[in-house]
Homo-oligomer: A and B are copies of this chain.
Amino acid sequence: MKWLPNRHSHLTIHQQIIDWIKQRIQSGEWPIHTKLPPQRKMAEAMGVNRSTIVNAIEELVADGILSARVGDGTYVSNNSWNVLVKSNHPDWEKHISSSIYEPNFQTIQLINEYEQREDIIRLGTGELSPELLPTAALQRSLQDISLTARDIGYSEPKGSRPLRHALSRYAIQRGIHVTPDSIMIVSGALQALQLISLGLLEPGSTVFQESPSYLNSVRPFQSAGMRIISLERGERDNHWLEQIRAMKGKKQSLFYTVPTLHNPTGSIMSLEERRELLQIGAAQQIPIIEDDVYHELAFGEIPPALKSLDTSGQVLYIGSMSKTLSPGLRIGWVIAPEPVIDRLADIKMQTDYGSSAFSQQIARHWLESGLYEQHIVQLRGQLKQRADFVTGILRSRFSRIATWHEPTGGFYIWLRLHEPLVNKALFLKLMKQKVLINPGYIYDAKDFHHIRLSYAYASFEQLETGLNLLYGAIVEGT
């Protein structure tokens, strides 16, 4: 809502606001039953006194155009005036509520919404801080991109061939020997999951995942009617995988995992566990989705990718530049057996006709020129500094109330409070204090012990302030 009244108009501000509201209703932007934004918010947005808004709304209520429900805001009403201009509204609300896609969890929607605000401290955001993004270098690199007409037309179903060549060379560094034909470009890892859900599964299929799991916060499978089985990772290594053995006979299933720098826990699966997972997956004929978008950000040595150990084509590998270079690029990739890639590429063509050619050219340039590697080395150092800073604060303030593991890369610390205090009330309380956290319950609905802290996004100063406020809010609650 960015409209401002015109201070130089011959109309009063009061009248302009009335006209503006009427115009939105008449144009159908605000159909019948639409709830108006809070008066305070409207007043702020328009830069007027709240009383000006109150008066305008009162007049429209008197005219029967709006109706006020006590304690529940103001709505576009369904009266004769409305009936005259808009009697025949399609019932969009009905469309919305009964459609395929489940509405995103309310907490996640709130996070998405508040992340847009400048004045908020984002303690959980799984995204690089603006100061860690190579904005200037990206802008400079635009001058080195050379485009042909072919580059800016519709892309091949699997995506730009030169980019896939560059990625096949890049994959080899991760031990994954693959030809460009077995790679496809996607608009980020989430789209890969979306395409898998549309292209390789059917409603009623089973998706196994580790608990907690990033999947619970994005839900591409749940929304498409797949069954999710979460495997609790107890203390004893490997034991949790045994649960899959018991699940024999499922018609269609997949195992989704982030083996390296897990989201949200930050953990790294051992080589032994990786081998066991592959062996169990093979025995049970359960393909594995390896989400490997954080591996470049490991501070030390990491075990090989599952895909590099895969001799039977059972692993579908997902990579991305969203966590390393720029989320706005929207470039990720899938590596899988060629028939699987062909299928997913066909679905992608039916979904959005391929990813941005410009983004693909930029990604290719960064890979081929070595800019990407250079940037990653630097970024890793910066993230390590931030990780040290946050663990320093944790050690000095949180030791009494929580435990955590020393981060070994990526963005996250999976902070575990001794008490189950991480509920929606804590989330909302912190939100009021302009601190946004990612509570554990969005990754595991029954987890009220954990918070996914991210040291990647907020500034050092914000991290300190935010953690202090977090500490205060927790201690107050005990």
Contact = CB atoms under 8 A, between A and B. Distances in A.
Interface of A: 1-3, 23-24, 26-31, 34, 85-96, 98-101, 103-104, 109, 112, 115-116, 127-128, 130-131, 133, 135, 138-139, 142-143, 145-157, 161, 165, 177-182, 187-188, 190-191, 194, 197-203, 218-220, 223-224, 252, 281-283, 285-287, 310-315, 322, 326-330, 337-340, 343, 346-347, 349-359, 362
A156 B113 CA distance: 8
Given A28-B310, A154-B327, A357-B329, A188 B96 contact: no
A29 B355 contact: no
Contacts of A326: 152-153, 357
Contact of A287 (B95, B131, B152, B224): B95
B99 A156 contact: no
A133 B165 CA distance: 25
B142 A312 contact: no
A109 B346 contact: yes
A149 B165 CA distance: 29
Contacts of A29: 178-179, 181-182, 313, 337-338
- Determine the main DSSP class of A at the interface with B: loop
Contacts of A220: 350-351
Contacts of A2: 161, 165, 179-181
B252 A98 contact: yes
Nearest to A360: B328
Given A1-B181, A29-B337, A203-B100, A90 B287 contact: yes
Nearest to A82: B312
A366 to B, nearest CB: 12
Given A100-B197, A220-B351, 16 more contacts: A29-B179, A29-B182, A95-B200, A96-B343, A100-B198, A100-B224, A104-B346, A133-B153, A154-B327, A190-B353, A218-B350, A327-B353, A328-B358, A330-B354, A330-B355, A358-B362
Contacts of A311: 26-28, 85-86
Contacts of A224: 100
A290 B171 CA distance: 43
Best-surrounded residue of A92, A313, A329, A347 (most CB of chain B within 10 A): A313
A157 B310 CA distance: 37
A421 to B, nearest CB: 29
A201 B179 CA distance: 39
A152 B329 contact: yes
Contacts of A103: 346
B329 A191 contact: no
The listed residue with most B CB atoms (<10 A of its CB), out of A95, A128, A138, is A95
A327 to B, nearest CB: 4
A87 B351 CA distance: 34
Contact of A357 (B149, B151, B328, B350): B328
Nearest to A252: B95
Nearest to A203: B100
Contact of A202 (B34, B100, B112, B181): B100
Contact of A200 (B85, B96, B153, B161): B96
Contacts of A101: 198-199, 347, 350
A339 B152 contact: no
Contacts of A339: 31, 34, 92-93, 96
A374 B351 CA distance: 31
A200 B99 contact: yes
A28 B313 contact: yes
